[in-house]
Amino acid sequence: MTRAQDLYDANGERLQKVLAHAGVGSRRACEELITQGRVSVDGVVVCQLGIRVSPDAVIHVDGNRVQLDETKLTLVCYKERGVVSTMSDDQGRPTLADYVADRTERLYHVGRLDADTEGIILLTNDGELAHRLTHPSYEVPKTYIARVEGTVPRGLTKVLEKGITLDDGPVKVDSFVLRELGKKHSIVELTLHSGRNRIVRRIMEEVGFPVIDLVRTQFGNITIGRLKPGQVRQVAGSELGALMSMVKL
């Protein structure tokens, strides 16, 4: 069984300094987190000050991973309609690369949004994080708001939460909320973890309410917040830690 003292690395840095440098809080605040038993190193809760840790230690605060590798970068951008979810396009269409032209890191997009869909999409140079976020086994939820044709009946919620069958297999939503009902159009919110191609559009088409406009407002714990179309911001600190923990990092 690993004990806290077994984590000691004479050549490492003090745990509270590592946490402060990673942006968790001031040195004093990080010391309090440690003494309160809210910090773990390589799966072991550390409550004593003075522990020196290895640069490759896996550290969590309140269960959320602390990213120590300063070379890793994760961004969230608000993809506009008409932009393709690639970093280059041989047809000359606008791409995600246009949003990060000032960045020197080689970034990869996490999943895709079709050209007609707007909303948030993640870019990162952390290959393992990208892989896990898109892998079906981690079931990362995504939330969309759609304007659809027709007046959506309230009973559709139970139908979609129970599940329907598309041409590539069954699918169900985690939640379905009617936001606004009208004679010609309705606005609905769907949360689901399926990453299949154009899945929201295909679901709504199947049940008779084709999508007119579609926006992804949340990916995992990352929300659209105050982002405007075309804007980009960094995902860091506790927000990044929660995202990493969501996929067991």
- Write out pLDDT tens, residues 51-110: 899 888 899 999 889 988 889 999 999 999 999 999 999 999 999 999 999 999 999 999
**Residues listed for the chain:** 249
Where is average pLDDT lowest: 32-36, 110-114, 152-156, 193-197? Answer: 193-197
| Sole residue written with tokens 């010609």 | 184
**Which listed residue (56, 69, 114, 168) is catalytic?**
114
Distances (CA, A) of 68 to 12, 31, 37, 105, 197: 13, 17, 20, 17, 34
Which sign, positive or negative, has the C-alpha torsion 132, 194, 61, 236? Answer: positive
User: Is 114 labeled as catalytic in the residue annotation?
Assistant: yes
- pLDDT mean over 131-140: 93
- Write out pLDDT tens, residues 9-43: 778 899 999 998 888 889 999 999 999 999 999 98
- pLDDT mean over 116-130: 96
Listed residue (10, 32, 13) closest to 22, CA to CA: 13
- pLDDT mean over 191-203: 93
pLDDT reported for residue 168: 92
Is the predicted pLDDT of residue 6 greater than 90, yes or no?
no
pLDDT reported for residue 1: 45
Between strands 52-53 and 185-192, the pairing is: unpaired
> Could you tell me the maximum CA-CA distance found in the chain, to the nearest angstrom?
70
SS3 196: coil
* Alpha helix positions (H), 163-198: none
For residues 228 and 136, give the distance between their C-alpha atoms in angstroms, rounded to a whole number: 29
pLDDT reported for residue 207: 96
- Write out pLDDT tens, residues 154-193: 999 999 999 999 999 999 999 999 999 988 999 999 999 9
* Alpha helix positions (H), the chain: 15-21, 27-35, 127-134, 156-162, 199-206, 237-246
Q: Which residues pair with 121 in a beta bridge?
A: 77
pLDDT reported for residue 9: 74
More confident residue, 8 or 90: 90
pLDDT reported for residue 8: 63
| Sole residue written with tokens 């009617």 | 178
